[in-house]
Structure 1
Amino acid sequence: MGDAVDLILEQWARERPDLDCSPMGVIGRITQLQREVYLAQRETFSRHGLDAPSFDVLAALRRAGPPYQLTPTELMRTALVTSGAITQRLDRLEEKGLITRERSEADGRAVVVTLTDAGRQALDAALPDHLETERRLLTGLPDTDREKLAELLRRLLVALGRVPQRP
């Protein structure tokens, strides 16, 4: 069974047989999958009044455990975004009452971001729907293939230096 990327590879093989176009097979499919994931997540999160960046922040705070607090720097590292991007996300979430930002009691110069009860409820309501969306996206693969794919993607990301290796 072929796909659109197979057709592209066949065309390049015909037109430029001197080039190894096999990287297009991987990158082209990752790009297509990225779009499918983006569209599915956008639809899921919108049902809960969220978007992917907001969900990421709320999820990071929720995973931190009680009292559901992180610094903006910790959130920035978790989300792998710039300080400007995290500030915009926090501004939007604070306006919605899903987080608060206050000076740290331990260090008055530092700011701590806290998940509010409303933020926790929003995240807890969206999470099962999000997981079901991800399950649906992966239904074409048996569990063993999912595990293999997850391992291959992990190895690629670590090799690219984009993901800190866990101790």
Structure 2
Amino acid sequence: MDRLLSTALHEARAGRETPGSQHLPQDDPLFPKLWDNPCWLSFRLNFLALQFNNPVYGRIQQQLGLLRPEFVVLWSLYLGNGLTLTEVVRSSNFPKNTLSRAVNKVATLGLIDREIDPSDQRRVTLTLTEKGRAAVVSVKELMLEHERAMLECLSPAERLTLSDLLTKMVVASGSWPRDLDLNAEAATTD
């Protein structure tokens, strides 16, 4: 099915201008990655994510001294204070061991508090401290400005459509495989 979709996309674009292609010469190394790439979705998503993550998290590291996973914990709690580590993992898609180390660091720095649930001693709730909230607020506008710059090329209707489509994919992602079993794939192709 992926090959069919990729072929269909390629054929649909053959002989016509593609969105944005009028500003991108065919000899640009980006051109084949956009228009001849069988993994078109993953390329676009990764490329755009890096356009946000590299400058924004680089600045956060300079300004706050926090690595991306550490700030992800703070941002998760900023959006939904009073979460467990498992809930932060689920809502960010980072590995649990990575976020566990991040939680330990931001707790040591006084950016979050941990509270044991009296009714379930295994449940630990994470909350932002005032210092943690101030850290997030200090870089929030930088993040929003960079995101606005990235979305500037889209009309308001296109932004809404993009948001709706990406939201649909994020929600569906819970049913996607977490690991790719190459041995199982080899067995089915033999």
What is the TM-score normalised by the length of structure 1? 0.73
Q: Secondary structure at the match of 2:113?
A: strand
Candidates 144, 151, 154, aligned match of 1:141: 154
Higher relative contact order (CA 8 A, sep 6+): 1
* Counterpart in the other structure of 1:37: 52
Candidates 74, 80, 91, aligned match of 1:78: 91
| Separation of aligned partners in 1, 2:32 and 2:38 | 14
* Runs of 5+ unmatched residues, structure 2: 1-21, 177-190
- Alpha-carbon distance, 1:160 to partner: 4.4
* Counterpart in the other structure of 1:6: 31
Q: Decide whether the 8 Å contact of 2:69 with 2:98 is kept in 1.
A: no
1:120 aligns with 2:133: yes
What is the TM-score normalised by the length of structure 2? 0.65
Q: Deviations over 1:35-81 (max 9, x none)?
A: 212212223323431333222211222222xxx32222222222223
Compute the RMSD of aligned alpha carbons.
2.6
* Counterpart in the other structure of 1:13: none
* Counterpart in the other structure of 2:114: 101
* Counterpart in the other structure of 2:78: 62
Q: Decide whether the 8 Å contact of 1:5 with 1:29 is kept in 2.
A: no
Q: Which runs of 4+ in 1 moved over 6 A?
A: none
| Separation of aligned partners in 2, 1:113 and 1:8 | 42
* Runs of 5+ unmatched residues, structure 1: 11-20
Partner AA of 1:117 in structure 2:
E
Q: Decide whether the 8 Å contact of 1:69 with 1:112 is kept in 2.
A: yes
Tell me the number of residue pairs that the alignment of Structure 1 and Structure 2 aligns: 150
- Alpha-carbon distance, 1:102 to partner: 3.3
